Amino acid sequence: MAPRKIFGIVLAGGEGKRLMPLTEDRAKPAVPFGGQYRLIDFALSNLLNSGLRQIVVLTQYKSHSLDRHVSQTWRMNGLLNSYVASVPAQQRLGKRWFSGSADAILQSLNLIYDEHPDIIVVVGADHVYRMDFAQMIEAHINSGAEATVAAIRQPIGLADQFGVIEVDPDDPERINRFLEKPKDPIGLPDAPHEVLASMGNYVFNAQALIDSVLSDGERTDSSHDMGGDIIPSFVEKGTAGVYDLRRNDVPGSTDRDRYYWRDVGTIDSFFEAHQDLISVLPVFNLYNREWPIFSQQLNSPPAKFTRDARGSLGTMIDSIVSLGSVISGAHVERSVLGPWAIVGSGAHVADSIIFDRARIEAGATVRRAILDKEVVVEEGAQIGVNHDVDRARGFIVTDSGITVVGKGSRVRAQA
């Protein structure tokens, strides 16, 4: 069999309203994660590790930092016709922006026509996971399906949080129905207590995808969404398959993190995904050298842990600390610190996520909080200790008690 030409599309135009204020000044895929990464790095690393070498990133909402990150981080050797290219909405079909993920592909068909691929891999840009798409592509080709949806098993009680795939009992690799957040789901034939939830990752025969988005673009009753409109059209034709993530064996995975996938679309899930990184045996292991997560490597010094001016030692427990950070006589536990974060003498940081260049001054307390870039917590100030005070200052506090401080804010000590 002749080798198939594979083309990758990353859908990165999401607004991410549920992650406000972290998305107030940036697109959701550009939100920092795990200290030195951006959310989009996980999708792009998976595609690159899977052997894809022609990848476009479709952007739209507040895309400057995302476009800059892609251009600075994901340079490829153009002499070998390899590239990762950020492509903003171009209004090729009139004076309008993308009206959905399927419309984003419709308005970007010129990118596909230029490359003439046989297979197109379409992925989201804001999930945390590892996956070898080469294995999924092989399964797609062997199945004879026109479209294949990647899916992960979830407890049936969580079905109303996902797009759920019902399989053919006689052919568990074929999709019978694709249901959006069903209230009365049917369990899997081999596991009645589980359902298959869509991961938002797809493999298509190229011409079938082209025909589908062109047809969808002519409909006035469509939301022009990949999961809501395009996949159901393949299901209706009987040409949609499903790829269970349990079939995927990523090199270097452990039994603990092999089938990890997290949608970090809310503040709570974003916070919980960070907690998954920092345990002794992490639920998601950033230290897998056989399947690395790539990102921009800043020209920064190592992290530094020092006594403070009085000679007091700090403590660092179950935490991730990025390059350029300095912790001086402070206590940090169960937290993730981004590049160039500063934590001063006697400060106490617990169960928190600290973005780039944030500064926590002497004696300050940060508890169960997310601090965006360049936030300053002044000497003796407190965040996450009194939620009523946090709300009065204008900060978001989730129902689960996570305080979020927007980019560049200054938190002053109470009088």
Which residue ranges make up the annotated binding site for alpha-D-glucose 1-phosphate?
163, 180-181, 198
Q: What is the 3-state secondary structure (H, E, C) of the chain?
A: CCCCCEEEEEEECCCCHHHCCCCCCCCHHHCEECCCEECHHHHHHHHHHCCCCEEEEEECCCCHHHHHHHHHHCCCCHHHCCEEEEEECCCCCCCCCCCCHHHHHHCCHHHHHHHCCCEEEEEECCEEECCCHHHHHHHHHHHCCCEEEEEEEEEHHHHHHCEEEEEECCEEEEEEEEEECCCCCCCECCECCEEEEEEEEEEEEHHHHHHHHHHHHCCCCCCCCHHHHHHHHHHHHCCEEEEEHHHCCCCCCCCCCCCCEEECCCHHHHHHHHHCCCCCCCCCCCCCCCCCCCCCCCCCCCCEEECCCCCCCCEEECCEECCCCEEECCEEECCEECCCCEECCCCEEECCEECCCCEECCCCEEECEEECCCCEECCCCEECCCHHHHHHCCCEECCCCCEEECCCCEECCCC
- Is the bond preceding residue 192 a cis peptide, omega within 30 degrees? no
List, as residue ranges, the binding site. 163, 180-181, 198
Residue 113's Cα: distance from chain center in Å?
Answer: 28
C-alpha separations of 388 from 126, 392, 399 in Å: 31, 6, 12
* Other Cβ atoms within 10 Å of 1 Cβ, number: 4
Rounded to whole angstroms, the Cα distance separating 199 from 133 reads 13
Instruction: Please answer whether residues 213 and 100 qualify as being in contact, where contact means their C-beta atoms are separated by less than 8 angstroms.
Output: no
